[in-house]
């Protein structure tokens, strides 16, 4: 199960990403918003809570630029959120950083690219190995 949420700027992009990923066989949990104004830190907390609890495997967050969502998400213990806007970075944030939440900007990406990036994020595994040591160092920073 993949948790997805957005603020009011990301509604249309969220709908497009959900339609695409559902067609690809992913099970989505839409946490809103459906257009009503909301504050992106609250949405980040909701989606990330589903990821840290284990109810959802990964999360996708969308706001106007993706920057606010990524900043808010990374304040939550256990979350490694990445702002994704190109295929290379999206692939390597999974391979090397084991990101568990992707953030995107609705005013930055079109629906086609955003949907493809979401698929890359969800289908790319973590390489582990030497990268695990760095994830452990990130976790240690988080626990200070």
Catalytic site positions: 63, 96
Q: Which helix (H) or strand (E) holds 29?
A: strand 28-30
d(CA 20, CA 24): 6
The conformation of residue 83, written as its DSSP 8-state character, comes to: E
Complete edge-to-edge strand list for the sheet that includes strand 28-30? 28-30, 2-6, 58-63, 101-105, 81-83
CB atoms within 10 A of CB 45: 16
The conformation of residue 10, written as its DSSP 8-state character, comes to: G
């Amino acid at each position: 199960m993949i948790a997805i949420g957005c603020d009011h700027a990301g509604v249309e992009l969220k709908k497009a990403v959900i339609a695409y990923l559902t067609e690809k066989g992913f099970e989505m949990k839409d946490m809103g918003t459906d257009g009503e104004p909301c504050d992106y830190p609250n949405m980040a907390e909701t989606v990330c809570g589903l990821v840290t609890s284990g109810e959802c495997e990964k999360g996708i967050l969308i706001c106007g630029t993706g920057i606010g969502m990524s900043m808010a998400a990374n304040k939550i213990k256990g979350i490694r959120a990445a702002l994704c806007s190109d295929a290379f970075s999206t692939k390597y944030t999974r391979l090397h950083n084991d990101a568990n939440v992707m953030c995107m900007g609705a005013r930055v990406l079109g629906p086609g690219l955003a949907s493809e990036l979401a698929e890359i994020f969800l289908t790319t595994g973590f390489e582990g190995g030497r990268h695990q040591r760095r994830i452990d160092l990130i976790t240690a920073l988080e626990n200070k």
